[in-house]
Amino acid sequence: MTTRDLDAKAPCEKHRPGPAARNAARMGGRVPVIDTRRLQLRGPRIYDFETYAEILTSDRAIFMDGPYSREEAWSDFTNYIACWMLHGHGLWTIDAATQPTAGFVLLGYEWEDPEPELGIFLSAAAEGQGIALEALEAARDHAFNDLNWDSVASFVASDNDRANRLMKRSGARRDAEVEARIRETDLHVWRHRKEAA
């Protein structure tokens, strides 16, 4: 199989109309929808993967151990969607008035994470409009108000200046204790606390 084959669309990415698709829509409809002043956070749909893949297979994913192959992006996408069924939290698609599928925000859980993570990534077209902060705060508030969490962490590459500035703007503070425990010198752990929100 060539690299080009790995980047081609796979059959699993395509919508398949019928009873199974209707069941998927019903399950996706159980994901909490969060409306903010300008955004809607909603459960991902299969057609959102195109934007997800565009982000993760590009240089935009450099701070997330990317760029990924399209197959790796699919595995990541489905992992975060599965979190809804396994943990009751997961990936939302961010719909903005100016751009549907502007990006993604998550209360996710990866294999190596010491705890659930609050993360966000946007398409290039959605940058610079305040969408990241608005979506991040909405997902964070859901964790505090609806899931009754006292805190949530964001794991950010130390040289990802833009994301580190976003965490500061959101009111998060560095968590030196967790940083020391995970021993990754190139990673900042930002702690969002309920009382600070």
Give the tens place of pLDDT for each residue, 55-80: 999 999 999 989 999 999 999 999 99
Integer Cα distance of 132 and 43 in angstroms: 17
Q: Which residues contact 29 (CB under 8 A, 6 or more apart)?
A: 43
Annotate 118-131 with three-state secondary structure.
EEEEECHHHCCCCH
164 CA to centre of own chain:
16
User: 136-148 pLDDT, tens per residue?
Assistant: 999 999 999 999 9
Contact of 136 with 105, CB cutoff 8 Å = yes
The set of residues, in sequence order, having a beta carbon less than 8 Å from that of 124 and lying 6+ positions away, is 60
Domain range enclosing 152: 34-196
**Assigned domain for 115 exists:** yes
pLDDT at 184: 67
Give the separation between CA 134 and CA 122, rounded to whole angstroms: 12
Mean pLDDT over 173-186 rounds to 87
Cα 63 to Cα 186: distance, rounded to the nearest angstrom: 10
CATH number at residue 156: 3.40.630.30
Specify the pairing of strand 173-174 against strand 187-193. antiparallel
Is 25 contained in some domain?
no
Amino acid at 4: R
Q: Mean pLDDT across the chain, nearest whole number?
A: 92
The secondary element (H helix, E strand) that includes residue 16 is: none
Give the count of domains, the chain: 1
Residue 29 lies in a domain: no
The reply to whether 17 falls in a domain is: no
Domain for residue 49, yes or no?
yes
Look at residue 160 and tell me if it is in a domain.
Answer: yes
Residue 197 has pLDDT above 80, yes or no: no
Residue 12 lies in a domain: no
Please compute the mean of the pLDDT values over residues 19-32 and round it to a whole number.
90
pLDDT of 2 reads 40
Could you tell me if 139 and 118 are in contact, meaning their C-beta atoms sit under 8 angstroms apart? yes
Question: Within a domain: residue 183?
Answer: yes
